[in-house]
Structure 1
Amino acid sequence: MLGQRLIQNWEHYCGSLGGVWEVWRGEKLQNHYNVPWKETELPHSYNALDTMDPDNKYYQGQGWYRTKLEVNNPYPRGRTLLHFEGAGQRSNVYVYTQQVGEHLGGYDEFTIDITEATAQAQTIERYDGKVPVAVMCDNTRELETIPSDANDFHLYGGVYRYLNLVYVPAVSLEHVHIETNTSNLQETAEAGFHSKPTCSVKVRAALYNPELLSDNVQLTIQLKDHTGKVIAVSNVSCMPWEGDKELTVIELDSPQLWSTDRPVLYSCTVALSSVYGETAVKEKFGVRFFAFIKQGPFKLNGERLLLRGTHRHEDHAGVGPAMTEAMIREEMLLIKSMGANFIRLGHYQQSRIVLNLCDELGILVWEEIPWCRGGLGGEAYRQQCRDMLSAMISQHYNHPSIILWGLGNENDWECDFDYFDQEQIRGFMKQLHDLSHQLDEGRLTAIRRCEFCKDIIDVYSPSIWAGWYRGIYTDYEGSCRTAFEQVDTFFHMEWGADNLATRHVEQTYTGFAYIPRGDGAAEERDGDYLLTGGDSRVSRDGDWSETYFCEMIDWYLKCQEGMDWLTGAAQWSFKDFATPVRPDSPIPYLNMKGVVERDWTKKEAFYVFQSYWTKDPMVRIYGHTMPVRWGTQEELKCLKVYSNCSKAELFLNGVSLGVRQRDSNDFPCAGLRWHTSFNPGINHVQVIAEKDDIIVKDELVFNYQTESWGEPTELKLTTEKQDDGRIYVEARMFDEKGVFCPNAAHFVRFGLCGDGRLLDGLGTIHGSRLVQLASGHAGIYVDPQGGRQAAIGETAFVSAGGPSIAAVKASTHAYKPVSVLSAKCEGMATAFINI
């Protein structure tokens, strides 16, 4: 198999065309047919920015891609393939004007054979032997498809994963599946490893033989250990076959086990040779066994392992789902460095790159199909679910990191159809459960939040959001214990709280007395995510601060350490992500429950997780993004430190406040907290911590404001030029006496007139043109050379009402472009500044 990623030399058009001929006819009409094709690279999504547009719904419809390929298949009678790693949500593929394939489903891989069409296209004289290829992606919503648009994530459009040009012989390998039989290992572990452990490795393969050729094939199967040493070789000679065929079974003596701490990977290469040429497929695999103990914990390789997890969406600032391999690797390394040993991939099959990294890094996986919310459609709808489950299992079969196949999420949420039949949903869930076990006997099935289906699947997670959508966070352990006792295998998926990056408070939400409590009071219900109506809850009435988020995480992790019956839990979600169902968020259309921002900027919560989950010594003083603290001059304030070290000493303005010993039962901060008064003005804090004779340090500086403030009335803008040429513009809120208002939380809208470009649409605290103030301030970056935003004098922002109270202007050179940056606080004030 020979292949290459098709990254460059693509053009893109966002919109519908009358037909595929319109992709190419402009070459004849020249300037008389002005479809605005734009140069682009793959992967690409045409929703990279508009999903975070605060004023308009994101585009759902057709997007077209075109290129001209050099095709040079080296195999006699070889097949030329286009291998898509993912494109959304429906795709039609054309060679010139001939449709050569189509695919429904935005998340599973698919392959289109373009062999015969390529031969015809190479005869078109004006293309000089190149092959014109067009791909139409369409993310238009259809009720009889999954996923539902009621989901808490966008249905992105585009060729947003890698597309590969692949050459194979006329007879080649379609896939190789490696099955490890670990029953002897489990028995040996239960006996205390007194006998020699062994594992059998079964290698199965399917052929790609579209012409049904019958010439003999020879296969060589080679196994290597993690060092690259060949440990087994097997040879097979046979006629071509249909379906899966067992090629060999190899016994491994004393195999090295794959684990989250030591993710040992073996490799299996299957080489195929025939009169049509040679090809090979290499797959990595691991040897491990696991169990969810009935009414008990999770075990990996016979030992209890508390699953410490998070979640991931394919979504990133500026690119949407179209993350490159380097970007995905950076993200997965961050997740591992946080201390996670588990991840749920919500709510769809994700890139093969993600799974490869989970294998390499030692992160266990729950991966699922996007049957999520909405109800259950007709037969075509159900067949898509079956197809996507079958594709996910087949395409990710060899990954040792995967332990659970997710069959659904929140399937009790009705809205897409004028009927809702629980018994039909139960029956179909049973079909998917049986199909999963038929395709893969070695893994279990799982769902989250569908109480009337919890007895059908292997592992169940209710929806417990103690301290956010329902209940209070100190009820967490009791809520979990109640749910645990109602199922055979309990696993807590999704917990956390929305938090606006850089928003901090001196005192967190205190309205717990008004929140209903009791049995089941922490279980989320439909509509709880809304910011109006329903019972009192923190998500509606709280401050959405990092301060509260860290406090909640601290409590949850403290509890989880002592819950010896718990299989594990996964925080939702590692990174802030775009969503169409949250227009009222402090950054509109953003789910803000991330431990990091949408561009990987770490929030304070990242370090709370590290303090419980990581082994390497670390220490972090809370408040690095809190430049101003406030209170009275003599008031005692709490300085919080998160660390996994056994002890820490804190210094305020060079004076030691004493040494504290870490005790995870001592909430908050595991006892690493100091109460003291601050000096008015600048204060310097330093901590020195120790673990295993290793010293780690951290420090920060903040301004302590003792001046009280009144109602916010004035918005002021400042600018700071960055080393890369960008300009950072910050808006800060003041009262009528000019005193800074550090608790102001008004919405601010940035706009730009003249040359330059606002770097917005990113869904970050410094990359959004409409955003709530975070602790009295908000900011955005401007590219002064980024192209003309609007004519001078034209407004580049939508007015939201209220008087213009303050304006700041500076003279500009007559020969230089003028850009006017504005920030409007809705119902309050507008400020202008020339940049």
Structure 2
Amino acid sequence: MMTAFVSSHSVVSAKEGGQSTRVTKGWSFHKGDLGSPWEAWRTRFLVEWESVTLPHTVNALDSVDPDVEYYQGPTWYRKVMKINNPYKNGRTVLHFEGAGQKSDVYVFTEKVGEHEGGYDEFKIDITDLAKKYKDKKVNRGRGVPILVRCDNSRDVERVPSDMSDFVQYNGVYRHLNMLYLPQVSLSQVHIKSDVTKQQAVLSVKAKLYNPDEINEAVSYRVEIYDPNGRLILTEESSKPIWNDESVLAEFKIDNPELWSPDKPNLYTCVTKVIRGSDESERREKFGLRFFEFVKKGPFKLNGDRVLIKGTHRHEDHAGVGAAMSDELIKKELEYIKAMGANFVRLGHYQQSREVLKLCDELGLMVWEEIPWCRGGLGGERYQQGAKRMLRNMINQHYNHPSVIIWGLGNENDWKGDFVKFDKEAIRSFMRELNTESHKLDPSRMTGIRRCAFAADIVDVYSPSIWAGWYRGKFIDYKETSNAEIAKNDRFIHMEWGGSSHAGRHSEKPDEGLAGIATGQGTDEREGDFLMSGGAARASKDGDWSETYICNLMDWHLKEQETMPNLTGTAFWVFKDFATPVRPENPVPDVNQKGVMTRDLKPKESYYVFKSYWSNEPTLRIYGHSWHTRWGKRGEKKIVKVYSNCPEVKLYLNGKFVGSKKRNSQDFPAAGLRWGVVFRPGSNVLKAVGEYNGETITDTIKFNYETRSWGKVNRLKIDEIERDGDIVTIEVTAYDKNNVMCLDSRNYVRFTIAGDGKLIDNLGTPDGSRKVQLANAKARIRVKLGKSESVVGVVSKDVKSVFVTLK
């Protein structure tokens, strides 16, 4: 069988062992299968093709379409490529940074390689067939015809499981590069380090790519540059061409500049191999640090205790799915860092090189894992695939100082994919992965999340603790966590939090939760993610308001400050993302546990974290999207301010209310809360604080409703904004007395007739044609056509409404 060869990548990737060029434009794309590769070339009329730019996925929009299942099947990409390899007898290679979920690569009609796995990098050598087909008539002298077939069809013997809580995207959704290599080139460079505060001992190991099996001596040179770019160490010599991995140089650095979240210092290793007039070079960024998970105790980095303050991310974004640009990835990770986080778990698969590069540069520690996620354990192909993914992940991301934990699995106690669920088989396979991980990289920890019967196998374990969401109340968090710390030698808490529908707020966020029992566990159990059945729980019986989630997160954060043996935690998840297993959510097919919406807009909870974690001035009055508050005349209502200022002053309608001092243990809002009386109608709140000599303020405006309301009786539709040919439409729900139904959870569905187009399938509260109301309202944008369009809103048991757009 023809397969891809897989190698490590250069973090600073100027050459990748040769000359590398991204291949982005000029691709044609076909959704569906072909009868044979020849159908891609014989005529343009029998099969429909569209022009696309890479990265690309067919699931950019259907992953969150509320009416259809996302496409799982084959797709094809074709392009005629100009090939100009500058090296005599050089190799021409297609370098895929990630494609899902199984890829077959053809030159003209001949298959040249394949790769199974949607998340690790792979390379396909097309040298020989490129020479054979570059003059084919079908090319019209334009280059070499390349075909890529991607397939994300359901396959129980391929990880991850289709039961997983995320979309398995199809397509070439990460960068594709054309790589020209000398006949003998560097394919991998690993920098192994043994570090203390006083000294770092380095060993530089390299692999070669030598498919022609050249047998002669080559020269090499290794250079080490400090974080300021100064050349500090060199070694050069020659040796016969080697197989496997070979040590090229060993160095010592006295008083190294250590890598940490506060000072993410990065060294550079430049390795060159010279053979005649050919030179192969790789540049690797690396950092020097040491860490320890103290048994039954805290986490230490470079000898000092550091509380891990983290989150999680999926490679997923509104409108593009997994095909995120480097700019989008950078913006997202900068938001994570600005929140004050120092850690991110990459769930639940190897993520793009750009993510790891930025984590190194920004100072974000990383748990990265393979996608052995849910479903049980498959057969030989399944297990070999998981092992291959582990080897590739470690080899490809070995030099990143940000990585501290290699994740071996997630929720492997989740049954379903196979008739037999065998705990001992899972334990045995987990041992194999653990052994392989330590063999490939003894310097890092291994970890898993939520598989208690295999907790003793790995170095670091995270149990399932969802206090206040799937089980129990959030006040149970500390007791449960301390019990798990006592139970596990090295404990870390991955995944906590809950869902919130952006724009939904509540005066009584705990209403409906009286039936939830305390002291009976806080773990997620089978079926708890569903919207019906089972025990009382916030995920089913709560209001999904931003108000409740801010309180939950506030409680967790203030408790974490008082737990001296806690290594740290990471809340789930930074940004809402697409998932096929949650069609009943307020935004269908979206996991809404993020502190950002899927298009990277902060929810209120983002500022709760900033108030605890960030060193930047932070002051936020809760409720910027709370357009209408409600209650009785003269009733005191709570106003919360999330801030890291030591003291905050509050003003209501221009009058001074009072000043409060911040105390993180004074829940909620660290004592920055006031009981105030709003006037009916319009109100203005202003907060003022000082942080390190800088005065910061925040202001919000809202209405106060004193009338009560009944069930939804009518809808009102309005055009509220126009920006060129983009119109924003808002629907509002009223009862029979024309009072807004501010706690309604009715679904509404937007429709359109005419040549305009709804801007939908974004997986956001204002970018889905089916969505639950948030405090009586829902919005969507419309792109106008050349003539008028009619936008309608449909909701069960309520008369539909329409507006004409011209």
TM-score normalised by length of structure 1: 0.93
Q: Which amino acid aligns with 2:159?
A: I
Match in the other structure for 1:6 = 23
Cα distance in 1 for partners of 2:337, 2:796 equals 41
Q: CA deviation at 1:129?
A: 4.5
Within 1, Cα distance between the matches of 2:335 and 2:583? 28
Structure 1: which 5+ runs fail to align?
A: 28-32, 190-196, 786-815
CA distance in 1, matches of 2:95, 2:799: 54
Task: Please give the alpha-carbon distance, in whole angstroms, between the structure 2 residues aligned to 1:510 and 1:626.
Answer: 18
User: Which among 770, 781, 798 is matched to residue 828 of structure 1?
Assistant: 798
1:80-136 Cα deviation digits (max 9, x unpaired): 000000000000001111111100000000000011111111121342151111100
Report the alpha carbon displacement of residue 483 of structure 1 after superposing the two structures with TM.
Answer: 1.1
Q: Which amino acid aligns with 2:716?
A: K
The residue type paired with residue 90 of structure 1 is: K
Q: Distance in 1 between matches of 2:643 and 2:530?
A: 35
Render the CA deviation track for 1:734-793: whole Å, top value 9, x for unaligned: 1112222211210000010111110100000100000000110001000013xxxxxxxx
1:748 alignment partner, SS class: strand
Q: Note if contact 1:639-1:674 (Cα within 8 Å) is conserved in structure 2.
A: yes
Asked which structure has the greater RCO (Cα within 8 Å, sep 6+), the reply is 2
Q: Secondary structure at the match of 1:414?
A: coil
| 1:230-241 map, 5 Å | 230-241=231-242
Query: What's the counterpart of residue 804 of structure 1?
Result: none
**1:82 maps to 2:99:** no
Does the aligned pair in 2 maintain the 1:201–1:251 contact within 8 Å? yes
SS of residue paired to 1:526: coil
Give the secondary-structure state (helix, strand or coil) at the position aligned to 1:722: strand
Q: How many residues align?
A: 787
2:755 aligns to what SS in structure 1? strand
Spell out, residue by residue over 1:47-104, the C-alpha distance to the aligned partner (whole angstroms, 9 max, x if none). 0000111111111000111111111000000100000000000000011111111000
Name the CA distance, whole Å, in 2 between partners of 1:309 and 1:244: 35
Superposed, which structure 2 residues align to 1:98-117 within 5 Å? 98-117=110-129
Partner SS for 2:723? coil
TM-aligned CA deviation for residue 828 of structure 1: 2.2
1:72 match: secondary structure: coil
The CA deviation string for residues 146-195 of structure 1, in whole angstroms up to 9 with x for no partner, is 0000000011100000000010100000010001112xx1xxx6xxxxxx
- Residue identity matched to 1:300: L
Q: Which amino acid aligns with 2:734?
A: F
Distance apart, 1:263 and its partner CA:
0.2
- AA aligned opposite 2:789: S
Residue 239 of structure 1 aligns to which amino acid in structure 2?
P
Q: Does 1:526 align with 2:526?
A: yes
Query: Structure 2 vs 1, CA of residues 765 and 129 (structure 1 numbering), >3 Å: closer, same or farther?
Result: closer
Is contact 2:513-2:542 (8 Å) kept? no
Q: Determine if contact 2:41/2:138 at 8 Å carries over to the other structure.
A: no
Rounded Cα–Cα distance in structure 2 between residues aligned with 1:80 and 1:829: 63
Alignment match, 1:581: 581
> 1:58 — aligned with what?
70
- 1:633 is displaced (CA, Å) by 1.7
Judge conservation of contact 2:78–2:147 (CA < 8 Å) in 1.
Answer: yes
Instruction: Describe the SS at the equivalent of 1:515.
Output: coil
What's the counterpart of residue 559 of structure 2?
A: 559
Q: 2: distance between equivalents of 1:71 and 1:702? A: 62
Conserved 8 A contact 1:463-1:523: yes
The range that moved more, 276-285 or 163-172, is 276-285
Q: Distance in 1 between matches of 2:293 and 2:512?
A: 38
Residue of structure 2 in register with 1:473 after alignment? 474
CA distance in 2, matches of 1:61, 1:826: 34
SS in 2 for 1:23: helix
Q: Secondary structure at the match of 1:75?
A: coil
Indicate yes or no: 2:315 matched with 1:314: yes
One-letter identity of the residue aligned with 1:635: E
**What's the CA shift string for 1:479-500, capped at 9, x where partnerless?**
1011111110010000011100
Task: State how far apart, in whole Å, the 1-side matches of 2:402 and 2:531 are.
Answer: 38
State the Cα distance separating 1:275 from its structure 2 match: 2.3
The residue type equivalent to 2:503 in the other structure is T
- Asked if the contact 1:170–1:276 (Cα under 8 Å) also holds between the matched residues in 2, the reply is no
Contact 2:637 2:675 in 1 (8 A): yes
* Contact residue 499 and residue 549 of structure 1 kept, 8 A: yes
Quote the Cα distance in structure 2 between the aligned partners of 1:112 and 1:826. Answer: 53
Q: Distance in 1 between matches of 2:234 and 2:368?
A: 32
Q: Summarize the alignment of residues 9-408 of structure 1 with structure 2, pairs less than 5 Å apart.
A: 9-27=26-44, 33-127=45-139, 128-182=141-195, 185=196, 197-275=198-276, 277-408=278-409
Once the two structures are superposed, the pairs formed by residues 372-521 of structure 1 within 5 Å of their partners are: 372-518=373-519, 521=521
Preserved CA contact (<8 Å) 1:180 1:287:
yes
Is the CA contact (8 Å cut-off) linking 2:513 and 2:541 kept in structure 1?
no
Alignment check: 8 A CA contact 1:215 1:275 kept? no
Gaps of at least 5 residues in structure 2 are: 1-17
- Aligned counterparts of 2:688 and 2:52: Cα–Cα separation in 1: 49
Who is 1:765 aligned against?
765
1:526 Cα offset (Å): 1.2
**8 A Cα contact 1:92 1:102, kept in partner:** yes
Residue of structure 1 in register with 2:7 after alignment: none
How far off is 1:818 after superposition? 2.4
Secondary structure of the residue aligned to 1:291 is strand
| SS of equivalent residue, structure 1 residue 372 | coil
The DSSP-based 3-state class of the residue aligned with 1:411 is coil
Deviation per residue, 1:605-624 (Å, 9 max, x gap):
00000000001111000000
Q: CA deviation at 1:724?
A: 4.1
2-structure distance, mates of 1:307, 1:826: 46
- How far apart, in 2, do the equivalents of 1:36 and 1:780 lie? 31
* AA in 2 matched with 1:536: A
Secondary structure in structure 1 of the residue aligned to 2:738: coil
Q: 1:610 — aligned with what?
A: 610
SS in 2 for 1:94: strand
Give the ranges of 4+ consecutive aligned residues of structure 1 lying more than 4 Å apart after TM superposition. Answer: none
Question: 1:723, 1:215 → 2: CA distance?
Answer: 67
Following superposition, the deviation at residue 215 of structure 1 comes to: 2.7
Deviation at 1:512, TM superposition (A): 4.1
Shift of 1:443: 0.2
Contact 1:47 1:58 in 2 (8 A): yes
Quick one: distance in 2 between partners of 1:742 and 1:710?
10
Mapped contact 1:78–1:276 kept (Cα < 8 A): no
Cα displacement (A) at 1:276 = 5.6
Q: Percent of aligned positions with the same letter in both sequences?
A: 50
Shift of residue 284, structure 1, vs aligned partner: 0.2
> Which region of structure 1 is more displaced relative to structure 2, 732-741 or 7-16?
732-741
1:691: Cα distance to partner? 1.9
Deviations 1:18-40 (A, max 9, x none): 1111111115xxxxx33220111
Q: Distance in 2 between matches of 1:720 and 1:673?
A: 33
> Which residue of 1 is the match for residue 3 of structure 2?
none
Matched position secondary structure for 1:76: coil
Map Cα deviations across residues 505-550 of structure 1 (whole Å, 9 max, x no partner): 111123444112225x111111110111111111110000100000
**Deviation readout 1:248-287 (Å, 9 max, x if unpaired):** 1011011000000000000000011102611210000000
Offset from partner CA, 1:381-431 (integer Å, 9 cap, x none) = 110011000000000000000000000000001100000111111011000
Q: What RMSD, in angstroms, separates the aligned Cα atoms of the two structures?
A: 1.0
* Cα offset, 1:707, TM superposition: 2.3
Partner of 2:682: 682
Q: 2:261 & 2:677 partners in 1: Cα distance?
A: 44
Distance in 2 of aligned mates of 1:123 and 1:469: 62
1:834 Cα shift? Answer: 0.6
Paired AA for residue 20 in structure 1:
P
How far, CA to CA, are the matches of 2:414 and 2:428 in structure 1?
Answer: 17
